[in-house]
Amino acid sequence: MNGKRRKRKYYVFLSIIIIIILSWIIFAIIPPSKVIDKNPFIIAKEERTLIAAHRGGKNLNPENTLLAFDYVVEHCNVDVLEFDLCMTKDEHLVVIHDETINSCSDAEAILGTDKDYYVSDFSLDELLYFNFGAKFIDRNGNQPYAELVGIEEENRIDVIRDAKLNIVTIDEVFEAYYKSDIMFIVEIKNDGDIVKKAVDIIYSLMEEYHDSNLINRVVIGTFHNEIESYISKQYPRILRGASMRGASKFILTQMFGVNIFAAIDFACLQIPVSYKVGGIRFDLTKKTYIKRAHRRNISVQYWTINDEDMMKKLIKAGADVIMTDDPDVLYQVLIDMGYID
């Protein structure tokens, strides 16, 4: 009798295991719902990875300036311009990575080195006084724009603008490239209600340039969960990058093969090549992440990749976008791999 009972328990246990395995296989096979019908940031099979110039290619020219943007568009065959935005005191959205201007302008030389100078403390007109190429160091260790030829107090703003080294607004960037096929990855650096205002401004510009289909050429990235929710509710047509919460949810559900259960609505997964959690480092370059994302029409975009071997690995894995400080290097890698003639 005891033998039969043990045998029955064994079969019950085995049945439960089989059901779990079959359920897991079914969950892995069933295609999840797509986030959007068509994602312009996803490459088709056999197409090349898209080149995104991080900060406009900050190793080539002064970051986030029109000098940098124009150069990579004309010489590096870039598909995407990546940059960050901050709000000025008079509510203009300017292109800059940090919330301060100390590290990328001559503000300290003019105002002193005793404090941090925040974008939010200046109006746009005041920011135009600074040379945003002053601290750029090229690959040879030179600072070619530390001193601009012919610059005087009375013509300073004009000389800086003529050199394309002034701080630029999101309006100016869209105006410069809206007639092209260039796409944009933007991140808003501020937080709180300022970010909501920033999103409002960006959307109004998209509407202004609606004939150029900017709504499908711009993705807004954010690390803030509340902004993710704001964009999703107020502007569902805006392509959105994953917040930290959204990206983590996708990665974790992918690891356990239950991605079908994740309530995901972002269009772009912007991730590094690895991520450390609790002392464990996870490799995020596996093809499975990209395949799973593509099943939902999510574009997979890696940052910030300056190593040639890693570029090649990600290209072979099928990465949609590679963000790099060296777009000329990525361009040459794609040529060497036969993707560009």
Consecutive H or E run containing 275: strand 274-277
180-184, 199-203, 252-256, 314-318: range with lowest mean pLDDT: 252-256
pLDDT band at 259 (very low <50, low <70, confident <90, very high): low
Whether the pLDDT of residue 108 is over 90: the answer is yes
Q: Which residue has the higher pLDDT, 171 or 3?
A: 171
Whether the pLDDT of residue 222 is over 60: the answer is yes
Give burial (CB, 10 Å; 0-12/13-18/19+) of 287.
Answer: exposed
117-138 confidence digits (pLDDT tens): 999 999 999 999 999 999 999 9
Q: What residue segments make up the domains of the chain, in order of their start?
A: 50-97+169-336
Q: Which residue has the higher pLDDT, 83 or 222?
A: 83
User: What pLDDT does residue 260 have?
Assistant: 57
Which CATH number is 50-97+169-336 given?
A: 3.20.20.190
* DSSP assignment letter at 261: G
User: What pLDDT does residue 7 have?
Assistant: 61
Whether the pLDDT of residue 9 is over 80: the answer is no
Average pLDDT of the chain to the nearest whole number:
88
13-52 confidence digits (pLDDT tens): 666 766 655 554 555 555 556 657 889 999 998 899 999 9
For 300-328, what is the mean pLDDT? 97
2-11, 104-113, 132-141, 275-284: range with lowest mean pLDDT: 2-11
The C-alpha angle with vertex 158 and arms to 187 and 120, in degrees rounded to 5, equals 35
The angle that helices 66-75 and 170-177 make with each other, rounded to 10 degrees, is: 30
CA atoms of 36 and 237, how far apart (whole Å)? 10
pLDDT band at 262 (very low <50, low <70, confident <90, very high): low
User: What pLDDT does residue 275 have?
Assistant: 79
145-175 confidence digits (pLDDT tens): 999 988 888 899 999 999 999 999 999 999 9
Centroid of chain to Cα 196: 18
User: What pLDDT does residue 296 have?
Assistant: 87
Whether the pLDDT of residue 304 is over 60: the answer is yes
pLDDT band at 246 (very low <50, low <70, confident <90, very high): confident
Whether the pLDDT of residue 3 is over 90: the answer is no
Whether the pLDDT of residue 192 is over 90: the answer is no
User: What pLDDT does residue 11 have?
Assistant: 62
Report which of 245, 236, 177, 222 is spatially closest to residue 85, judged by C-alpha positions: 222
Whether the pLDDT of residue 228 is over 70: the answer is yes
Over the Cα atoms of the chain, what is R_g? 24
Whether the pLDDT of residue 277 is over 80: the answer is no
- Residues 231, 240 contacting (CB under 8 angstroms): yes
Beta bridge partners of 190: none
